[in-house]
């Protein structure tokens, strides 16, 4: 079976509010999928239904071949969950808490190997209360992967990270993906989605607006580019064009080689994302 997650017509209401309103979604095994959307868009409700922690009002849901509404302990052992809130066990060391959680699973990974994988070998004997925020987040990931999950849910995993810690965390996630783990990521960082995801989906008002690769989402790959340069006689000039290579060639010929302060840009993932949300309103 190629699909790790298959959703059709998913719906969830809270009183008069439609938190999830007919979501269709399919995520392949081994894929890293980023779910993007503003606060209140339905991301958390959708993910909690997939995890089996929240009931649904309508629709069909299949996660690793099982309906989460009829989840068993064996099925839960195949999932890894890294929630947005950090678990509290301040007096335990990193090694103690990872070994403790390993005992919950029938076929866990070696705790010391997991600690090494998340970059905490040097802090294995340190109590959690003495760790930095970035180190605590790595512990969260260690607890999410110690059961050797087939499917890993990551909810805003790098919130509060500095740029260096965020990029180190990305390398960890890439390593998990290379090992065949299916990953569903929610994030507000567009550069994170672009760096990690095979595909992204944009959700707003409980509905999926579009899915695609980060490069192709919303026609991004074929969108007009903006060519900008400094013209000594006229100042800064810009031109939007579907043929940027041709324009650059013409400018290079005009300037005899190097084009002053030349830039060529296409819409970023954030540009496309914001346009989709703006069209929805």
pLDDT attached to residue 85: 66
Q: Report CA Rg, the chain.
A: 22
Give the residue from 139, 275, 258 showing the smallest Cα distance to 204. 275
pLDDT attached to residue 280: 64
Q: In a structure prediction context, what are the per-residue pLDDT tens digits for the chain, which is 281 residues long? A: 589 999 999 999 999 999 999 999 999 999 999 999 998 999 999 999 999 999 999 999 999 999 999 989 999 999 999 887 666 688 999 999 999 999 999 999 999 999 988 889 999 999 999 998 888 888 988 899 999 999 999 988 887 777 887 888 888 889 889 989 999 999 999 999 999 999 999 999 999 999 999 999 988 888 889 999 999 888 999 999 988 999 999 999 999 999 999 999 888 999 999 989 887 65
pLDDT attached to residue 281: 59
Q: What distance lies between CA 153 and its chain's CA centroid?
A: 9
Give the residue from 270, 276, 271, 239 showing the smallest Cα distance to 254. 239
Q: What is the DSSP string of 14-47?
A: ETTEEEEEEEEEEEETT-EEEEE--TTSSHHHHH
Q: Where are the domains of the chain?
A: 30-38+73-218, 219-280
CB neighbours of 180 closer than 8 A, spacing ≥ 6?
Answer: 29, 30
Domain range 30-38+73-218, CATH class? alpha beta
């Amino acid at each position: 079976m190629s699909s790790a997650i298959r959703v059709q017509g998913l719906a969830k209401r809270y009183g008069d509010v439609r938190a999830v309103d007919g979501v269709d979604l399919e995520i392949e095994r081994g894929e890293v999928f980023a779910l993007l959307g503003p606060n209140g868009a339905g991301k958390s409700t959708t993910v909690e239904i997939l995890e089996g922690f929240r009931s649904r009002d309508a629709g069909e849901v299949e996660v690793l071949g099982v309906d989460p509404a009829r989840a068993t302990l064996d099925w839960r052992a195949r999932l890894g969950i890294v929630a947005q809130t950090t678990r509290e066990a301040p007096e335990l060391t990193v090694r103690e808490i990872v070994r403790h959680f390993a005992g919950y699973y029938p076929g866990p990974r070696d705790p010391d190997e997991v600690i090494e994988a998340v970059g905490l070998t040097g802090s294995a004997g340190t109590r959690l209360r003495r760790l930095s925020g970035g180190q605590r987040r790595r512990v969260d990931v260690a607890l999410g992967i110690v059961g050797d999950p087939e499917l890993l849910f990551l909810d805003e995993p790098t919130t509060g990270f500095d740029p260096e810690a965020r990029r180190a965390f990305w390398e960890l996630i890439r390593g998990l993906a290379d090992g065949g783990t299916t990953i569903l990521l929610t994030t507000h960082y567009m550069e994170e989605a672009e760096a990690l995801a095979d595909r992204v989906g944009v959700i707003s008002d409980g509905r999926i607006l579009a899915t695609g690769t980060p490069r192709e989402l919303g026609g991004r790959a074929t969108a007009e580019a903006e060519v900008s340069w400094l013209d000594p006689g006229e100042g800064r000039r810009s031109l939007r064009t579907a043929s940027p290579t041709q324009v650059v060639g013409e400018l290079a010929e005009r300037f005899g080689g190097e084009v002053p302060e030349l830039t060529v840009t296409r819409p970023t993932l954030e540009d496309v994302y914001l346009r989709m949300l703006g069209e929805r309103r």
